[in-house]
Amino acid sequence: MSAGLNYGFVGCGMMGQEHIRNLNLINGSNIAGIFEPDGNMRQDAATIAPNAKFVSSIQELLEIKSLDCILIASPNHCHLNQFEEIFKTRPLPLMIEKPLFTNPADNARISSLLKHYPEPVWVAMEYRYMPPIAYLLDNMEAAAGNISMVSIKEHRFPFLSKVNNWNRFNQNSGGTFVEKCCHFFDLMRLITKSEAKLVMALAGQATNHKDEIYDGQVPDIDDHGYVLIEFENGMKGMLELCMFAEGSRFQEEISVIGEFGKIEALVPGPGRFWQHPVLPAPLPQVIISPRSSEGLRILDLPVDEALLEAGDHNGATFYQHMRFAEAITNKSNVDVTLQDGSAAVRIAFAAQQSASEGRAIKL
């Protein structure tokens, strides 16, 4: 495919560079400009984006005439201000990393952007595009019939180190359910085709980051928890998160159950972390289990090596960019709207609040 779009980047650390490596696999994509305050990250980005002009502000980035769109991949707490600055200066089609915002008090600012931003905005909920999850989304009704339950288990590695350790504190990241799990609340909305009405959560910091200190402060982020959600249509969702289980065979296990049976998507973590001396890194799988085990099916869904090398997300970043470029080029609807991005974060805020106050939250 030849997308031919010129991208401007706001923030180009680990995830920004994953975006660039994937865009480099799409013919015609060009990284025209990058605003990245950190010198090391600028150097790394320059090696994979040789045509990019490095600038020192968003204003300077927006002066680059050739830009077709902007991608925001800065730390979570920067997203909303930067979105507004782009709106006021030169609103271009936008891809913005999750979570859209980190403070529940900013709901009104999001609603205003939702109403007035004149160009398409895509929120980077890329888990939708991981091959086993995409398969589950496309086939869940055929496999399970009328769905009543969805559960998502994520057992993974602790939060990685980030530039200036922004992800160690709730006030920057929004909290673990916001930073990490808005992806899963987005998936639950897609699967149930409904909005959350009741959220109950437990969470805590059991193991990770306790011996870390930044500017005299110990990180306050949770490393495990459970969330139960009731949706308006009566469907039930459950999330289990553990961030000290990096030896697990699969990182995400999603199961959707209906009247006829169950469909599961099993997603391995990044291959670069797989250490077993004999067993190869697992392949992504889908398991379809009708109520009679006679019909059980297990499908392997391998991901192209080039896509695996370009990032940590089972090819999802590439597929997301193909869809984004199509939407911008053809002026068609984006898949993951501002509405989707903000609804997922609102569920996450309710989960954070429920866990800290010890009560169920009605939305």
- Which of 23, 73, 187, 257: binder of ligand NAD (CB under 6 A)? 73
Binders of ligand NAD in range 126-165 (CB under 6 A): 126, 162-163
User: Of 12-20, 21-29, 234-242, 341-349, which segment contacts ligand NAD by CB under 6 A?
Assistant: 12-20
- Which of 154, 179, 223, 253: binder of ligand NAD (CB under 6 A)? 179
Over the window 288 to 317, marking each residue x when it contacts ligand NAD by CB under 6 A and - when it does not, the resulting string is: -------------------------x----
- For the chain, list the strands marked E by DSSP: 6-10, 30-35, 53-55, 69-72, 94-97, 121-124, 147-155, 196-204, 224-231, 236-242, 252-258, 261-267, 285-290, 297-300, 361-362
Beta-strand pair 252-258/261-267: antiparallel
Question: Chain centroid to CA 157: how far?
Answer: 16
Nearest CB to ligand NAD, comparing residues 135 and 184: 184
Neighbours of 72 (CB within 10 A): 24
Q: How far is the CB of 181 from ligand NAD (least distance, A)?
A: 11
The DSSP bridge partners found for residue 228 are 200, 238
Is position 184 an interface residue for ligand NAD (rule: CB under 6 A)?
Answer: no
Q: How far is the CB of 64 from ligand NAD (least distance, A)?
A: 15
Binders of ligand NAD in range 186-225 (CB under 6 A): none
- Which of 6, 22, 29, 74: binder of ligand NAD (CB under 6 A)? 74
Strand order in the sheet with 69-72: 53-55, 30-35, 6-10, 69-72, 94-97, 121-124
- For 26-75, list the strands marked E by DSSP: 30-35, 53-55, 69-72
Closest CA to 288 of 315, 264, 257: 264
In angstroms, the CA 199 to CA 210 distance is 28
Is 54 in a helix, a strand, or coil?
strand
Is position 16 an interface residue for ligand NAD (rule: CB under 6 A)?
Answer: yes
Nearest CB to ligand NAD, comparing residues 86 and 328: 86
Is position 122 an interface residue for ligand NAD (rule: CB under 6 A)?
Answer: no
- Tell me which residue has tokens 């288990």: 153
Q: How far is the CB of 20 from ligand NAD (least distance, A)?
A: 11
Nearest CB to ligand NAD, comparing residues 68 and 97: 97
Neighbours of 341 (CB within 10 A): 26
Count of residues near ligand NAD by CB under 6 A? 25
- Which of 22, 36, 152, 250: binder of ligand NAD (CB under 6 A)? 36
Residues in contact with ligand NAD by the rule CB under 6 A: 10-16, 35-38, 41, 73-76, 78, 97-98, 124, 126, 162-163, 179, 313
